[in-house]
Amino acid sequence: MGQPVREYLLTLCVTAAVTYLLTGPVRKFAIAAGAVPEIRARDVHREPTPRLGGIAMFGGLCAGLLVAAHLTNLKSVFETNEPRALLSGAALIWILGVLDDKWGVDALVKLGGQMIAAGVMVLQGLTILYLPVPGIGTVALTPMQGTLLTVALVVITINAVNFVDGLDGLASGMVCIAAAAFFMYTYRLWFGYGIEAAAPATLFSVVLMGMCLGFLPHNMHPARIFMGDSGSMLIGLVMAAGAVSLTGQVDPDLLNQKAGGLREATHAMVPVYIPLLLPLTIIAVPVADLILAIVRRTWKGQSPFAADRGHLHHRLLEIGHSHSRAVLIMYFWSALIAFGAVAYSANDASMWIVLGIVLLSAVGLVLLLLPRFTPRAPIWAERLVPPRYRRVVRGPLAAGASASDATADGVAEETSGEERRTAVPAGINGATAIGDRSRFVDRRKAGSHH
């Protein structure tokens, strides 16, 4: 059991390292190539930021699959066509994304490209063969039904991830959380129940985690580079490929036979249906955002593909949350739904799992409704935390300053770092995405704006 874990860890580290190391050169290339679009009305960042981060993520994907192909316990995955099918579809969607990041591609053309990429994977064997239907059992799908269902799942997942990519670090973090939950479930199926058909999905989830973890340090607020459509569509396709592989390739009857003896009554059937439900739970938040966006735009008489500022992350900013806190809230809800589904499928004490999810949901709602709340560290720990979390201001007072001035400074310290940044005009903001952050004073004197 330990050897496969080490091999998965090696694959994860190689994928993350290659993605991280490639992102810096890719950022310079994006700037030189002019892939730095102007700020649009719906954007929340204030400095032009290069895209094309998907180039580095695709490099990490290739490196991870290459390493896994030479590992003892993982090379058996490459005896099937699924890794080849994933790489073929990923290459097509990545090329489409790069073209869109540089020159822009019409929404209908992108939709067609997504369907072609999904079709290429289907032609190479990565498709849904049958579905476990409650009350009926396993239903075998015809080739046409399997193709249509697979293409629909891939397109929905890609666009759900693409829609949620609106804040620094949001899409990559949420997908990483979903991939971690997906890995826990698929790894248990493979090495816990001995179901080898779950091996490709397990590998895909590990590689996906590495891609996101390697890109996140460059993409956290304030982001130095965006993944763009080349990255968001890529990780969406990899996530969909894992879901298709698990849902369509794992025999529900075999799964019920392996797990049924360990459970009682209704809960014995949970592992049978969770492959169908888990892909939906891990993208529940992005899909909810996607559905709300389509309904909202259609209601207004607009195209469903028309961009706006009505997404969930935009609404969190509007009610007063800072950029970083809005991202963390989205992380929280994604982790709660994904890991809650996995825990329910793996644990017999399901009622306690449900009660825990309800309790954490209540905590999440409290945090959601307190956008102005800033936690404070104890006095003894103030030197260990950033100034924004300290109760009082440390340091000498200016000459002639009164106690009331010190109190005013302490009150001013209550303002979060995000709110202090918003008070600085965009042209002199030190947290620039392209230039050196320490040189904004010189640019202000020169009267230039980047």
| Span 71-97, average pLDDT | 93
Q: Is residue 158 part of a domain?
A: yes
Question: Does the CA dihedral 120-122-124-127 come out positive or negative?
Answer: positive
Q: What is the pLDDT of residues 30-78, one digit of tens each?
A: 999 988 877 755 555 567 789 899 999 999 999 999 999 999 889 889 9
Q: Is residue 294 part of a domain?
A: yes
pTM of the entire structure? 0.74
Q: Is residue 306 part of a domain?
A: yes
pLDDT at 216 over 70: yes
The confidence score (pLDDT) of residue 362 equals 82
Tokens of 233: 């569509």
**73 or 370, which is more confident?**
73
Q: Is residue 312 part of a domain?
A: yes
| Span 160-180, average pLDDT | 86
The confidence score (pLDDT) of residue 260 equals 52
Which of 26-35, 153-162, 435-444 is least confident?
A: 435-444
Rounded distance between C-alpha atoms, residue 174 and residue 287, angstroms? 12
Question: What band does 140 get if pLDDT is binned at 50, 70 and 90?
Answer: confident
Question: What band does 313 get if pLDDT is binned at 50, 70 and 90?
Answer: low
Q: Is residue 405 part of a domain?
A: no
Share of the chain above pLDDT 90, in %: 30
Instruction: Give the count of domains, the chain.
Output: 1
Share of the chain above pLDDT 70, in %: 67
Q: Is residue 388 part of a domain?
A: no
**215 or 174, which is more confident?**
215
Structural element, H or E, at residue 139: strand 137-140
Which of 83-87, 232-236, 394-398, 445-449 is least confident?
A: 445-449
Tokens of 200: 């490709």
**292 or 426, which is more confident?**
292
| Span 277-290, average pLDDT | 66
Give the number of C-alpha atoms closer than 13 A to the C-alpha of residue 112, restricted to the C-beta side. 5
The confidence score (pLDDT) of residue 96 equals 96
| Span 69-94, average pLDDT | 93
Question: What band does 191 get if pLDDT is binned at 50, 70 and 90?
Answer: confident
pLDDT at 255 over 70: no
Q: Is residue 433 part of a domain?
A: no
pLDDT at 449 over 50: no
229 is in an annotated binding site: yes
pLDDT at 450 over 50: no
Interacting residues of 413 by C-beta distance below 8 A, sequence separation 6+: 387, 388, 390, 392, 393
DSSP code string of 176-188: HHHHHHHHHHHHI
| Span 162-174, average pLDDT | 84
Q: Is residue 141 part of a domain?
A: yes
Helix axes of 199-219 and 54-68: crossing angle, nearest 10 degrees: 140
**436 or 303, which is more confident?**
303
Q: What is the pLDDT of residues 331-344, one digit of tens each?
A: 888 888 888 878 77
The domain of 124 spans 2-323
| Span 95-110, average pLDDT | 91
pLDDT at 307 over 70: no
Rounded distance between C-alpha atoms, residue 158 and residue 181, angstroms? 18
pLDDT at 425 over 90: no
Question: What band does 412 get if pLDDT is binned at 50, 70 and 90?
Answer: very low
Burial letters 44-82, b for 16+ CB under 10 A, else e: ebbbbbbbbbbbbbbbbbebbbebbeebebbeebbebeb
Question: What band does 16 get if pLDDT is binned at 50, 70 and 90?
Answer: very high
347 is in an annotated binding site: no
Angle at 122 between CA 120 and CA 128, to 5 degrees: 155
The confidence score (pLDDT) of residue 227 equals 93
Q: Quote the mean pLDDT of the chain.
A: 76
The confidence score (pLDDT) of residue 277 equals 62
The confidence score (pLDDT) of residue 439 equals 37
Interacting residues of 95 by C-beta distance below 8 A, sequence separation 6+: none
Rounded distance between C-alpha atoms, residue 94 and residue 357, angstroms? 37
The confidence score (pLDDT) of residue 54 equals 94
